[in-house]
Chains A and B, each alone.
Chain A
Amino acid sequence: MDVAIMTCEQCETPLEKGDLRCSVCGFTAPLAHHHVVVEKKQVLRCTGCGAAIAYDAKRQAPACSFCNSLVKLETIEDPVEQTEGYLPFTVTSDDARRALQAWLNSLGWFRPSDLTSSAQIRELKPLWWVAWAFDADAVVSWTADSNHGSRRSAWAPHAGQSQCRFRQVLTSASRGLSQLEASRVSDGVNLQQVHSEPMGADDAVIEQFDTQRSQARQQIANAVYDEAKQAVRSEVPGTSIRNLNISLVVTGLTSKRLSLPAYVMAYQYKERLYRVVICGQDTKFLVGNAPYSVFKMVMVGLVIGLVAIIFLGIAASS
C-alpha cells in the first residue's frame, strides 16, 4: 500500500512515492532530500569495473561501455496498484436467490407468464469488483445554451462559475461489470465500513486492479469531469440545455482503491442465459435483463391498431 508522503504545494493533491510532478496541476514535486551542489566536474565511473560511463540512447540509461552494467535512475514510477480495502458481504447467496425471484415476479405483464416458474439459476457467484472512491474540490467554470431568456432563436447563452465538493464518489475500475451494472449496484454500498481483509463470503472471486497508476489517474480525472458536468447542469437556467462546456480547477483530489461486494447471477429461460447483478450489501440494488413475451406484445399491438382503425372509421363517417 502506498502512503502519500506529501501533498502538492499548489493544489493539495497528495503526491505518491515516485511522483516527480503533480498529476493534477503539474507542479514540481520537491526533492525528498536537498543537497547542496558545489562547483565540480565529474568523470562518472562504473561501480563494477571502474570505467567511465556514458548515457546510452538505445537502453535509455547511463551504461558502462565495458561491462554493460546500467546505472539506476530516479524515474516516474507507474506501478499497477492493489486494493486498499474490502467492503463486506452482508447479503447471503440465499438472499440473492430470493431477490432474483422477487425481481422476476415484479417485472410486469409484458414478460412471459411462466418466467418465474421456468427460470433456472445456473450460476451465482459472489464477486469483489474494483472501484475508486474519490474526494475532490473543484472550481467549475461553465457555459451553455438554454431556452431561458431566448429571443428569436430558441437558444440563449449563459455562463457561470461555482464551487463543487465531491465526497466519496465511486467510479468503476471493473472489467467484469459493465458501466451500467457498476453504477447501479454501487449505490447500495456503505463506504464507511472498510476492512483490510475479505469478509462475508468465502468463495468469492476477487477482481484485481489491472490499470497502471497513470491510467488510473486519467480515469479518475475523467470521472471528476463527468461528475462536475452533472453537478453544474442544475445551475444552468431554463429547461432544455445544449453545448454545456466546463473547465475545472481541481484541488485536494484523493482516491482510494476499494473492492465492492456483488453477486453475479446467470439464469436460464428457454435455452437462453440472462445475467443479473445484485449489490452484496442491499438486494434492492439489482440490475439485469429478462426476456419479453413476443406473443403478448404482438397481441397488444394488434388491439391498439384495431381500436385506431375503428376510431378513424367513426371519424371519417361522421
Chain B
Amino acid sequence: MVSNTLQSTKEQVEISCKSCGSKLLLSAHQLSTVCPYCGSPSVISRPPSEDIPSPTFVIGFQIDRERASELARAWLRRGNWLAPTSFKKALPNLIQGIYLPVYLYGTTAHSRYFAKIGENYTETETYTTRDANGKTVTRTRTVTKTEYRSLQGQHATYVMDVIVSASKGVSNAKFQEIEPYDLRAIRRFQPSMIAGWTAEEPSRSQAECFGLARQETHELIQRKLREFMPGDSHRDLQFDTQFSREFIDFALLPVWCFAVRYSEDKPPIQILVNGQTGRVAGKAPVSAAKIGSLVVGVLIFFVVIALFAVLMGQG
C-alpha cells in the first residue's frame, strides 16, 4: 500500500481520499473516517509514539444501528419513573457508533492485610422481668456474642481484565456502567476491523489511565479481601497492596453514543450502549415536580394513618 504524507497539526489532520481525491479534515484523535463524497472508508495507521501506542486488541460491534436505537428507546421508556415525562418521550439522537479507546490492565497483586475477625459464641445470661401478675422474676436466655481477634496475613492474586476508558469524551465511571465486555471475543487489531466506523485514539495519557486502572484494581482487591476473611464477621480491614508485573494494552471497544435533548434549556443527556452486549447506561434527570408530588403523597399517607389511629383510639 502506498503511504501518503499527512499534514498533521495538533488539532486536525488533513487527508486526501484515496478513492476520489477529495480533501478530508479529521480531528487529531480520529483513526478512521468515511469519505462524505464517495463513501469510501479510510483507516489511518500512525506509528506508535510514546504516549499513543497502536491498538493491540479490538472487539467488533455485534449490536447494529437499529438494535442499538431500540435498546436506547426502551431504556428511556422504562426504569426512570422519576424522570420528567418529556425525557421519557424524547427520541434519542444517534451520535455515532464508535470504537472507544480503552486500556486493558493486568497485574500480580501482593497484599498485606490486618483485620479484626469476629467469632460468634453463645452465652446464657440471667435477667429480671415482670411476669403476667406483675411480680419480679429472674429468667435465663441464650445470647449470641462476638469476640474480635486480630488477624494479619498475606494475599496474592492475579488481576486481569481491568478496563479503563482512555477517551476524554467518556469518563471511566460512565464506562464502568456499560461494562462488562466478553473478552473471549477479543481480536488482534487489524485496520479492516474499524473500516467504515469511527475510531478514536486515546485522549487521556497512559499515565493517567494507569492511575485509573490501579484505583479500580485497589477496589477489586478490597472486595476480594472482604470475601477472603474468615470468621462470622470482620471489621477494621486495612491493607497495603504492591503491584508487580503490570501490563497495559491499548484496545478499541464498540460503543454506541446517543444524546437525548428533552428540554430547550437543559443540556443533552448522554446515553451509552455497549456495542457487544447491548447494555445501556445513562444518567436520567430527576423531575422536581415528580419528586414533590411523591413527597406530598407520602406525607398525606402518614397523616391519614395517624388520623385513623386517633379515631380508632377514641372509638
Is the pair B43, A139 in contact by a Cβ cutoff of 8 Å?
no
B27 to chain A, nearest CB (A): 15
Selected A-B contacts with CB under 8 Å, 14 pairs: A10-B247, A20-B186, A26-B160, A27-B247, A28-B247, A39-B5, A41-B15, A57-B60, A71-B192, A73-B193, A76-B184, A159-B230, A161-B154, A247-B157
Q: 7 nearest interchain CB pairs?
A: A54-B196, A26-B160, A159-B153, A40-B3, A153-B119, A57-B61, A153-B121
In the bound complex, what is the Cα–Cα distance between A244 and B231 (angstroms)? 10
* Interface check A243, CB cutoff 8 A: yes
CA distance A76 to B184 in the complex (A): 7
What separation, in Å, do the CA atoms of A250 and B186 have in the docked complex? Answer: 23
Within the complex, the shortest CB–CB distance from A67 to chain B, in Å, comes to: 15
Query: Is B238 an interface residue when CB atoms closer than 8 A count as contact?
Result: no
CA distance A40 to B6 in the complex (A): 8
Name the A residues within 8 Å of B5 (CB-CB). Answer: 39
A298 CB-CB contact with B under 8 Å? no
Indicate whether A249 sits within 8 Å of B157 (C-beta atoms), given known contacts A25-B106, A55-B195. yes
Contact between B151 and A157, CB atoms less than 8 A apart: yes
Is there an interface contact between A73 and B192, defined as CB atoms closer than 8 Å? yes
Number of interface residues of A (CB under 8 A): 60
In the complex, are the beta carbons of B156 and A141 less than 8 A apart?
yes
| A37-B224 in contact (CB<8A) | no
| A119 on interface, CB distance cutoff 8 Å | no
- Mark the stretch among A58-66, A123-131, A167-175, A286-294 that contacts chain B: A58-66
A25-B64 Cα distance, complex, nearest whole Å: 32
Task: Tell me if A159 and B161 are in contact (CB < 8 A).
Answer: no
Contact of A161 among B34, B41, B153, B224 (CB under 8 A): B153
Per-position 1/0 for A52-85, Cβ under 8 A of B: 1111011011100000000101111010000000
Evaluate contact between A161 and B156: CB separation under 8 angstroms: yes
Q: Which of A43, A150, A245, A249 has the most CB of B within 10 A?
A: A43
Are A152 and B121 touching (Cβ within 8 A)?
A: yes
Binds A, one of B45-53, B82-90, B126-134, B205-213: B45-53
Indicate which residue in A10, A43, A248 contacts B41 across the interface (CB closer than 8 Å).
A43
> Which partner residue on chain A sits nearest B231 by CB separation?
A157
With A53-B192, A57-B63 already in contact, the answer to whether A42 and B153 are too (CB < 8 A) is no
8 A Cβ contacts from A80-97 to B? none
Task: Known contacts A74-B188, A159-B151; decide if A42 and B42 are in contact (CB<8 Å).
Answer: yes
| A247 touching B155, Cβ below 8 Å | yes
**What residues of B have a CB within 8 angstroms of the CB of A160 in the complex?**
153
Query: Please, how many angstroms separate the alpha-carbon atoms of A245 and B229 in the complex?
Result: 8
| A153–B233 alpha-carbon span in the complex (Å) | 13
A40, chain B: closest CB distance, angstroms: 4
Distance to closest chain A CB from B238 (angstroms)? 14
Query: Cβ of B215 < 8 Å from any Cβ of A?
Result: no
A38 interface residue per 8 A CB criterion: yes
* Contact with B43, one of A44, A60, A248 (Cβ below 8 angstroms): A44
Q: DSSP class of B's interface residues: helix, strand, loop or mixed? A: mixed
**Contact, CB under 8 Å: A58 / B64:** yes
Known: A42-B18, A57-B275. 18 other contacts (CB 8 A): A10-B247, A21-B186, A38-B3, A43-B19, A44-B41, A54-B34, A57-B64, A58-B64, A73-B192, A76-B185, A141-B153, A151-B149, A153-B121, A153-B146, A157-B230, A158-B230, A245-B227, A247-B224
Q: Are A139 and B192 in contact (CB under 8 A)?
A: no
**Shortest beta-carbon distance, B259 to chain A, in Å?**
21
> How distant is the Cα of A245 from the Cα of B151 in the complex, in angstroms?
14
User: Per-position contact with A for B159-192: 1 when CB-CB < 8 Å, else 0?
Assistant: 0110000000000000000000001111110111
- Does residue B40 face the partner (Cβ distance < 8 Å to A)? yes
Q: A26-B161, A156-B149, A249-B156 are in contact. Are A40 and B227 (CB under 8 A)?
A: no
In the complex the two chains form, is B41's CB within 8 Å of A52's CB?
yes
Is the C-beta of B54 less than 8 angstroms from some C-beta in chain A? yes
Given contacts A43-B19, A57-B64, contact A243 B230 (CB under 8 A): yes
Are B153 and A25 neighbours in the complex by a CB distance under 8 Å?
A: no
**Is the C-beta of B158 less than 8 angstroms from some C-beta in chain A?**
yes
Partner of B191, one of A44, A75, A154, A247: A44
Residues of A that sit less than 8 Å from B by CB: 10-11, 20-21, 24-28, 31, 36-44, 52-55, 57-58, 60-62, 71, 73-76, 78, 139, 141, 143-145, 150-161, 214, 242-245, 247-250
B194 at the interface (CB under 8 A from A): yes
Which residues in A have their C-beta under 8 angstroms from that of B117? 145, 157
Q: How far is the CA of A20 from the CA of B160 in the complex (A)?
A: 14
A218 smallest CB distance to B (angstroms) = 11
Q: Which one, A31, A53, A152, A247, contacts B156 given CB within 8 A? A: A247
Contact B227 A25 (CB under 8 A): no
Chain B contacts of A74 at CB under 8 A? 187-188, 190
Whether the Cβ atoms of B60 and A61 lie closer than 8 Å is yes
Q: How far is the CB of B148 from chain A (nearest CB, A)?
A: 10
- CB distance B63 to A145 under 8 Å? no
Given A37-B46, A41-B15, A245-B230, A52:B154 Cβ within 8 A: no
- CB-CB under 8 A from B121, the residues of chain A are 152-154
Closest Cβ of chain A to B94, distance in Å, is 14
Q: Mark B89-119, 1 if CB is under 8 A from A, else 0.
A: 0000000010000000010100000000101
B187 contacts A73, CB within 8 Å?
Answer: yes
- Contact of A37 with B45 in the complex, beta carbons under 8 Å: yes
A73-B190, A154-B121, A157-B119 given as contacts; is B108 within 8 A of A10 (CB)? yes
B294 close to chain A: CB less than 8 A: no
> What's the Cα separation between A28 and B15 when bound, in Å?
33
